[in-house]
Structure 1
Amino acid sequence: MSWTEKYRPRTFEEVAGNKKAIEEIKKWIDEWKAGNPQPPLLLVGPPGTGKTTLAHIIGREFSDTLELNASDKRSQDAIRRTAGEASSTYSLFNHDLKLIILDEVDGIHGNEDRGGVQAINRIIKESRQPLVLTANDPYSKRLQTIKPKCKVINIRKVHTASIAAALKRICRAEGIDCPPDVLKELAKRSMGDLRSAINDLEAMAKGEESVGKELLDTGAKDAVSTIFDAVRAVLKSRDVVKVREAMRVDDDPTSVLEFIAENVPREYEKPHEISRAYDMLSRADVFFGRAVRSRDYTYWRYASELMGPGVALSKDETYRKFVRYSGSSSFRILRRTRKKRALRDSVARKMAGKMHISPRVAISMFPFLEIIFENDEMAYEIKEYLELTDEEVKLFRKRKIRAPERKKPGKKTETPGRPLPGPEKRDDEAGADKGRSRKSPEDGSERNRSHGQGEKKNKKNDEKPKEKQTSLFQFK
């Protein structure tokens, strides 16, 4: 049995450090036992600080414990089949409460774990049993929907003195003689990771009766800091060696730059210090851009020097004050605007395909489109041409585009020409006309006078606008 398991704490009193967190956990247990259901516990902290140990100690306070470890399958079906059913039922032999432990929930990722976060959220919503969740990264994207539903307790790194005391107890139990300065060096080397310190001691002293300083040189692990350790070292120290060691993080260096840029105004107070720090960060960002464009990632070392020691030396002196550091706000802004940026890119691609321009040029034309879209008719034509959806139209105007009303077809006009003939006369009317034509000359004179008057009337009619044609079939 390894020493980490052999000497794992069994009670809260045996746990090294985190006394305030333990008091909050005890109150949570008392509320459950009193019949007051509480939200799930989310224990967040670096590896080796005792999160899983605390979860197992909590489990001893209840009748039964079910643990779903990070090494298990964490797909939606697996989680609901194991933890989901257990969270909604009581124990078979004991009707008391049982504890459900979901270890390292921030490790759910990829296709194999698809739907795992949704399954955990559903368990939290429907559970009638106490739940304890553990995670290493408090700012993991996978915890965004889980954290608001839980009581978050931060488990901090164990103090060097507490680690040295725990190592001394182990040496006494194993009958090993180890100088205090060696134990202190092991505790300091572990950087708050108690489990790592116990493993180092076991590797050095197992099977030995005494341990000397010469064994410290047999090997030391490469310490990897978290992103917050790096930010704290940069902003709180002027020691270049210490800052360089802290900058060895297992995260994307551009994320480290964003975190440092977010917290510089919180730590530095003098304007010229803030100005110098941001000047260093801007130069580091230039080198990151060169690395991406040229695929030559040796530029990262220059960026690391600028955003690490460069920002650390921008301050005149270190500030002895407590500052609560926070994650980069740019990530939160990107999450909020994700949908809008997707619509923007979709419209830009459609414009690029129709207008034979690049998406970047298309995006630069958006302000002009907002002005053009104020006209309903032009907005409708552009929408139909680019085949935009109603959601994409909202980028340029808030109200919907109504289809223009179609004009009703007008009456066909007559072409100018001969006057339209009247209706055909009947036989009796034709005979009467012939009779009139055989009348006396007096009648002829009258007829001539009427003819003259008729010519005058025809002249007047010629001056008037001619009637419109109503049908093509009226022509002979």
Structure 2
Amino acid sequence: MADWTETYRPSTLSEVRGNDKARDAFAEWARTWDDHREAVVLHGSPGVGKTSAAHALANDMGWETVELNASDQRTADVIERFAGRAARNATLGGSAAGGGASGGDTASRQLVILDEADNIHGNYDRGGASAITELVKESGQPIVLIANDYYDMSRGLRNATREIEFRDVSARSIVPVLRDVCRKEGIEFEPDALERIAERNRGDLRGAINDLQAAAEGRDAVTVDDVVTADRDKAMGLFPFLDAVLKEESAEEALRSAYAVDETPDDLTKWIEHNLLDVYEPAEAVRAYDFLANADVWLGRVRATQNYSYWRYATDNAAAGVAAARDGTKGGWTRYSRPQFWSSTDATADEVVGRIAAESGCSVSTARREVLPFLRTVTHHCKPRELTVAMAAAYDLDEAGVAFVTGSGESTNKVESIVADAQARRDEAIEDHAEGAFAGATRTADEESDETDGMDDSAAQTDTDDGSANDDRPANDDGSETVGTAGDADGREQPGDDGSEDADDGQAGLSDFV
């Protein structure tokens, strides 16, 4: 049996369902490409029709297509050899590429399609990211980039392109598509069966068609009993979540949506608060802010007690409470913006996530989506301080990195002192693991100093052995055992003088958390 998602892929943009505004913006981009000559990014959840829309647009415009979508085809060499040559020179049929800003035959153009544009960080060492960025800046042909998560793309690539968001396809838009497929395949159906498939796929049109095909295989009719697909393990995106809370869903449904988003309640609360006034009327906002204040109280208790069971109460208030504060549903489209807790530059974020991934032995994606939100929560505003110092030491973070993770000001004395203490802790750890290498070097310096002062080796050795003070000898600031260990009268070591015990405890605690 042929794959129905390919068999019934839209052949024109008019057949693309559920994203009318995005579809129209995409068509306008193509019609006016001679005027702006910008590349475009189509982004949204998997299965909403981004790639299908790109191919449908090419059919509408009479353009040939060149597509790169495999992760192992993202090296600079491959991008230049295939997509680069297509974008800069001739079409596949050999006709000359469209020339000036207003000239050129539009029918002779190629549409260069680069899929998985948000999944190229694994190829930085091979030049894939920089090659794509240069390509979109210099191309003489229209380029479409496809991405699931727009903000996983590099900042340079985002700045060099226009963006169009494809939203999750609603169930009411999915059902007519499923109905059309059944009729073309000559399959009878129960309306409730199609509605169940649409609801179970949570806006994923491609997944819905796949499930319909699985339910119809070997049958002449599809009933509710035939639909045995389970809920998909699919995380909801942040923007659909904001639509659910601020515009569309009831309090109960908004709460379920909150648990489907792969973000902490702390971050979700910030997203809701930051975008609330773009949607709510003043009276609605007053009620909503009461719930957000309650959510913040519960988040404060989480930070103070490290009891994460309180998170559910924060989510109740931030999602269900804010949705309940709304008067009915709201329509239209809103451009949601990132809250202030996000770094103003992605360079710092990429640096921090890269360090976390390298030290933790996990992927960059895991570090960004799982480890970083956890670290933000347990070190919020640098509290507790010892844990924040341990974190900064573990990942060798500078002031910008600590400020990014904790949400504190980069130039504050608090952050500067934490970075200084973290560096001291790293220096101690290096010395502790040097197996006496530094001690030998320091003893040599001491011996040279003793000789200069006219002291013989035996006297210097005596001073070192009994631990007495030597004013002429350079001392270590941290009191380490480089030249001797200070002890009490019975020769026992004084605990905690060098802070090494605290450092070990703090690092062990961070390892347990991570």
Task: Please give the per-residue CA displacement for 1:116-171, whole angstroms capped at 9, x wherever unaligned.
Answer: 33222100112111111112234x14253233332322323334343222111211
Query: Is residue 85 from structure 1 mapped to residue 85 from structure 2 by the alignment?
Result: yes
Distance 1:350 1:53 in 2: 49
Give the conservation status (yes or no) of the 8 Å contact 1:46–1:156: yes
Query: Is residue 188 from structure 1 mapped to residue 199 from structure 2 by the alignment?
Result: yes
> What code does the residue aligned with 1:228 have?
F
Query: Is residue 282 from structure 1 mapped to residue 296 from structure 2 by the alignment?
Result: yes
Partner in structure 1 of residue 218 of structure 2: 207
Q: How does 1:283-302 map to 2 (within 5 A)?
A: 283-289=297-303, 294=306, 297-302=308-313
Distance 2:181 2:220 in 1: 13
Task: Please give the per-residue CA displacement for 1:255-301, whole angstroms capped at 9, x wherever unaligned.
Answer: 322211212333252364144123123124225525xx74x654543
> What code does the residue aligned with 1:308 have?
A
Deviates more, 1:106-115 or 1:199-208: 106-115
Partner in structure 2 of residue 11 of structure 1: 12
Partner in structure 1 of residue 394 of structure 2: none
Partner in structure 2 of residue 128 of structure 1: 140
Partner in structure 2 of residue 108 of structure 1: 120
> What code does the residue aligned with 1:269 have?
P
Task: Please give the per-residue CA displacement for 1:366-423, whole angstroms capped at 9, x wherever unaligned.
Answer: xxxxxxxxxxxxxxxxxxxxxxxxxxxxxxxxxxxxxxxxxxxxxxxxxxxxxxxxxx
- What's the CA shift for 1:70? 5.0
Query: Is residue 335 from structure 1 mapped to residue 394 from structure 2 by the alignment?
Result: no
Aligned pair in 2 of structure 1 residues 151, 235: CA closer, same or farther (>3 Å)?
closer
Partner in structure 2 of residue 243 of structure 1: 254
Aligned pair in 2 of structure 1 residues 167, 119: CA closer, same or farther (>3 Å)?
same
- Give SS of 1:106's match: coil
> What code does the residue aligned with 1:79 have?
I
Give the conservation status (yes or no) of the 8 Å contact 1:280–1:311: no
- Give SS of 1:221's match: coil
> What code does the residue aligned with 1:51 have?
K
Distance 1:117 1:178 in 2: 47
Query: Is residue 169 from structure 1 mapped to residue 169 from structure 2 by the alignment?
Result: no
Give the conservation status (yes or no) of the 8 Å contact 1:265–1:274: no
- Give SS of 1:67's match: strand
Partner in structure 2 of residue 39 of structure 1: 38
Distance 1:275 1:36 in 2: 45
Aligned pair in 2 of structure 1 residues 309, 111: CA closer, same or farther (>3 Å)?
same
Partner in structure 2 of residue 269 of structure 1: 282
Partner in structure 1 of residue 243 of structure 2: 232
- What's the CA shift for 1:88? 1.8
Give the conservation status (yes or no) of the 8 Å contact 2:10–2:52: yes
Give the conservation status (yes or no) of the 8 Å contact 2:123–2:129: no
Query: Which of the residues 246, 258, 261 maps onto 2:270?
Result: 258
- What's the CA shift for 1:325? 5.1
> What code does the residue aligned with 1:234 have?
V
Distance 2:126 2:302 in 1: 32
Aligned pair in 2 of structure 1 residues 92, 14: CA closer, same or farther (>3 Å)?
closer
> What code does the residue aligned with 1:278 have?
L
Give the conservation status (yes or no) of the 8 Å contact 1:224–1:250: yes
Unmatched segments (≥5 aa) in structure 2: 96-107, 349-397, 402-409, 426-514
Deviates more, 1:73-82 or 1:145-154: 73-82
Distance 1:186 1:36 in 2: 43
Give the conservation status (yes or no) of the 8 Å contact 1:258–1:328: no
Distance 1:94 1:111 in 2: 31
Partner in structure 2 of residue 145 of structure 1: 156
Aligned pair in 2 of structure 1 residues 250, 108: CA closer, same or farther (>3 Å)?
farther
> What code does the residue aligned with 2:256 have?
E
Aligned pair in 2 of structure 1 residues 350, 320: CA closer, same or farther (>3 Å)?
closer
Distance 2:422 2:261 in 1: 41
- What's the CA shift for 1:57? 2.2
Partner in structure 2 of residue 160 of structure 1: 171
- What's the CA shift for 1:49? 1.6
> What code does the residue aligned with 1:327 have?
S
> What code does the residue aligned with 1:286 have?
G
Aligned pair in 2 of structure 1 residues 256, 178: CA closer, same or farther (>3 Å)?
same
Identity %: 33
- Tell me how many residue pairs correspond in the alignment: 349
Aligned pair in 2 of structure 1 residues 351, 164: CA closer, same or farther (>3 Å)?
closer
Aligned pair in 2 of structure 1 residues 353, 268: CA closer, same or farther (>3 Å)?
same
Distance 1:262 1:26 in 2: 32
- Give SS of 1:172's match: helix
Partner in structure 1 of residue 318 of structure 2: 307
Deviates more, 1:211-220 or 1:251-260: 211-220
Give the conservation status (yes or no) of the 8 Å contact 1:44–1:152: yes
Give the conservation status (yes or no) of the 8 Å contact 1:287–1:303: no
Aligned pair in 2 of structure 1 residues 163, 124: CA closer, same or farther (>3 Å)?
same
Query: Is residue 178 from structure 1 mapped to residue 189 from structure 2 by the alignment?
Result: yes
- Give SS of 1:105's match: coil
Aligned pair in 2 of structure 1 residues 355, 108: CA closer, same or farther (>3 Å)?
closer
Unmatched segments (≥5 aa) in structure 1: 357-476
Give the conservation status (yes or no) of the 8 Å contact 1:157–1:192: yes
Q: How does 1:352-391 map to 2 (within 5 A)?
A: none
Q: How does 1:40-79 map to 2 (within 5 A)?
A: 40-60=39-59, 61-62=61-62, 64-79=64-79
Q: TM-score, normalised by structure 2?
A: 0.59
> What code does the residue aligned with 1:69 have?
N
Distance 2:194 2:137 in 1: 46
Give the conservation status (yes or no) of the 8 Å contact 2:121–2:129: no
> What code does the residue aligned with 1:289 have?
R
- What's the CA shift for 1:73? 3.9
Give the conservation status (yes or no) of the 8 Å contact 1:281–1:311: no
Distance 1:310 1:88 in 2: 53
Distance 1:257 1:66 in 2: 42
Distance 1:285 1:316 in 2: 23
Give the conservation status (yes or no) of the 8 Å contact 2:236–2:262: no
Distance 1:212 1:227 in 2: 34
Partner in structure 2 of residue 326 of structure 1: 336
Aligned pair in 2 of structure 1 residues 137, 275: CA closer, same or farther (>3 Å)?
same
